[in-house]
């Protein structure tokens, strides 16, 4: 399997180089030269396979002979070693809970797969790998947990001081060892700029083998397809489900569209957006216009210029089954009201991101009577107790996987948003 650059289709690399490079020159997104087809006997008998077997079968054609089968089996087994329950909310709406991983974010799956693939690659190269990532909260925690103690890989996580929640702060800073938390006296944009400057620094790149862990890395993209197969394994109805994906950088929904292009039978996809709605506007007007980011209560979706946009378009072009894609956008006020009404009427507590997914599915079903669907619950509500508490009048319960975070272990290195300071902390 080769990956070509969507900017320049004659630029082709294998799985290993695509993962290590992150992106092709001139910000090109990697895309499989040919989309593999999942064998019919798997698609028709999804519920007879374990999630490990499914994950292996989906991943194998994307990896090719770059990782031997036994190692790949081990990698995917570790990647998906928690539950992905499908919970009925009412007769036509289901929630696929993707927050049972170690940090309570769906990003755990992509980060765990990426870390294990890189660890495999690092074993046969004598150069240490250095993962550099800027985070506004969720990605950094998932990356820290996934890479902890992966020897031969150093991780630097830059996050804006005072702008992540208390739980996120602990999740970012409690690991130590190969995980370096750099607390930047600035904004998320400052963090991103510092990371970008390091990636572009020719001299520095002679000393470090930098790896990007952001959502355009194909290791994250390919592994996010798992959710959609797991959802279909559990789907109790004949008619395929419509799937609503709370969307920001469009990594997750482009993985869903990829799964569909490989043969998975789903209904339409819905990109559920908050007030950052470049994709919603594009589907209405045919014009893609990146915008300034707007701050909302579903902050992991606050993305004005979604980096996987071209992959979404390419997946739609490549899909023989001609996926339908719709998108709706909702305000923070509407999101809060949805959290409250579903909590009161259906006894189900949604987080602010999942709630946007719920709203979009509900809106779609209003004009498609008889359809049924799934929205993805992308984060545990306890991660957003400051938002949830005033809406429902109590704190969300803390899941047991969060109890291991010990604030007293917290350690971060504080830096000013200056490139010189970042350089002093890389070692
Ligand atoms: C990252 C994130 C999203 C958005 O996913 P994309 O792949 O960037 O579209 C949605 N919800 C939560 C909780 C997230 O952390």
Distance, CA 127 to ligand 1 centroid (Å)?
A: 32
How many CB atoms lie under 10 A from the CB of residue 237? Answer: 10
Say yes or no: 203 and 234 in one domain.
Answer: no
Say yes or no: 332 and 370 in one domain.
Answer: yes
136 lines ligand 1 (CB under 6 A): no
120 falls within a domain: yes
Say yes or no: 187 and 250 in one domain.
Answer: no
123 falls within a domain: yes
Say yes or no: 288 and 323 in one domain.
Answer: yes
Cα separation, 360 vs 367, in Å, equals 11
- Per DSSP, the three-state class of 300 is helix
19 falls within a domain: no
Please report the pLDDT score of residue 187 as a whole number.
Answer: 87
Say yes or no: 298 and 244 in one domain.
Answer: yes
34 falls within a domain: no
Q: What is the mean pLDDT of residues 160-177?
A: 90
Query: Which residues neighbour 61 within 8 Å (Cβ) at sequence distance 6 or greater?
Result: 1, 36
Ligand 1 pocket mutation pick from 103, 136, 167, 249 by most atoms within 8 angstroms of CB: 249
Ligand 1 pocket mutation pick from 114, 217, 280, 378 by most atoms within 8 angstroms of CB: 378
Distance, CA 378 to ligand 1 centroid (Å)?
A: 7
9 falls within a domain: no
Cα separation, 208 vs 201, in Å, equals 10
300 lines ligand 1 (CB under 6 A): yes
Say yes or no: 294 and 156 in one domain.
Answer: no
How many domains, in total, are found in the chain?
Answer: 2
Please report the pLDDT score of residue 415 as a whole number.
Answer: 96
Say yes or no: 230 and 348 in one domain.
Answer: yes
24 falls within a domain: no
26 falls within a domain: no
Confidence of residue 11 (pLDDT cuts 50, 70, 90): very high
Please report the pLDDT score of residue 323 as a whole number.
Answer: 66
**By mean pLDDT, which of 122-136, 283-297, 374-388 is the weakest?**
122-136
Say yes or no: 117 and 208 in one domain.
Answer: yes
Residue 64 pLDDT > 70: yes
Which of 256, 243, 258 shows the shortest CA–CA distance to 357? 243
Residue 401 pLDDT > 90: no
Say yes or no: 165 and 250 in one domain.
Answer: no
Q: What is the mean pLDDT of residues 385-391?
A: 95
The CATH number that applies at residue 124 is 3.40.50.1100
Tokens of 380: 């545990």
Query: Which residues neighbour 273 within 8 Å (Cβ) at sequence distance 6 or greater?
Result: 247, 279, 280, 301, 327, 328, 329, 330, 356, 360
Please report the pLDDT score of residue 322 as a whole number.
Answer: 66
Question: Range of 281's domain?
Answer: 83-104+224-396
**Is the CB of residue 275 less than 8 Å from the CB of residue 327?**
no
**Pairing label, strands 30-32, 2-5:** antiparallel
Say yes or no: 170 and 251 in one domain.
Answer: no
Confidence of residue 163 (pLDDT cuts 50, 70, 90): confident
299 lines ligand 1 (CB under 6 A): no
Q: What is the pLDDT of residues 315-368, one digit of tens each?
A: 998 877 666 999 999 999 999 999 999 999 999 999 999 999 999 999 999 999
Report the side by side order of strands in the sheet with 209-212.
209-212, 129-134, 153-160, 179-184, 413-415
Residue 126 pLDDT > 80: no
8 falls within a domain: no
Say yes or no: 351 and 321 in one domain.
Answer: yes
Say yes or no: 284 and 382 in one domain.
Answer: yes
């Amino acid at each position: 399997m080769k990956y070509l650059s969507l900017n320049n289709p004659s630029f082709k690399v294998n799985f290993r180089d695509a993962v290590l490079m992150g992106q092709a020159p001139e910000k090109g997104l990697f895309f499989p030269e040919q989309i593999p087809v999942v064998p019919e006997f798997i698609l028709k008998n999804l519920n007879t396979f374990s999630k490990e077997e499914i994950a292996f079968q989906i991943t194998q054609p994307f990896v090719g002979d770059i990782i031997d089968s036994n190692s790949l089996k081990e990698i995917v087994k570790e990647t998906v070693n928690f539950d992905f329950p499908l919970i009925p909310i009412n007769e036509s709406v289901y929630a696929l809970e993707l927050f049972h991983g170690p940090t309570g974010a769906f990003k755990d799956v992509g980060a765990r797969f990426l870390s294990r693939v890189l660890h495999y690659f690092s074993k046969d190269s004598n150069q240490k790998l250095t993962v550099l990532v800027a985070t506004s909260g969720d990605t950094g925690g998932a990356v820290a947990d996934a890479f902890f103690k992966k020897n031969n890989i150093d991780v630097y996580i830059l996050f804006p001081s005072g702008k992540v929640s208390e739980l996120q702060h602990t999740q970012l800073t409690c690991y130590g060892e190969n995980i370096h938390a750099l607390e930047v006296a600035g904004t998320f944009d400052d963090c991103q700029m510092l990371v970008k400057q390091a990636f572009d620094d020719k001299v520095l790149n002679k000393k470090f083998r930098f790896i990007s862990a952001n959502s355009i890395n194909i290791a994250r993209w390919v592994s996010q397809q798992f959710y959609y197969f797991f959802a279909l394994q559990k789907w109790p109805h004949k008619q395929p489900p419509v799937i609503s994906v709370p969307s920001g950088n469009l990594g997750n929904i482009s993985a869903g569209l990829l799964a569909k292009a490989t043969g998975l039978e789903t209904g339409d996809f819905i990109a559920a957006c908050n007030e950052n709605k470049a994709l919603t506007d594009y589907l209405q007007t045919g014009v893609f216009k990146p915008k300034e980011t707007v701050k909302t209560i579903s902050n992991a979706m606050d993305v004005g210029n979604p980096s996987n946009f071209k992959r979404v378009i390419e997946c739609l072009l490549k899909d023989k089954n001609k996926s339908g894609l719709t998108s709706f956008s909702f305000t923070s006020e509407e999101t809060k009201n949805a959290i409250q009404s579903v909590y009161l009427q259906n006894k189900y507590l949604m987080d602010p991101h999942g709630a946007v997914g719920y709203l979009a599915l509900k809106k779609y079903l209003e004009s498609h009577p008889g359809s049924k669907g799934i929205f993805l619950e992308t984060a545990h509500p306890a991660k957003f107790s400051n938002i949830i508490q005033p809406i429902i009048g109590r704190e969300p319960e803390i899941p047991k996987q969060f109890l291991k975070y010990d604030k007293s272990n917290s350690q971060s290195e504080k830096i000013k948003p200056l490139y010189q300071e970042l350089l002093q902390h890389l070692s």
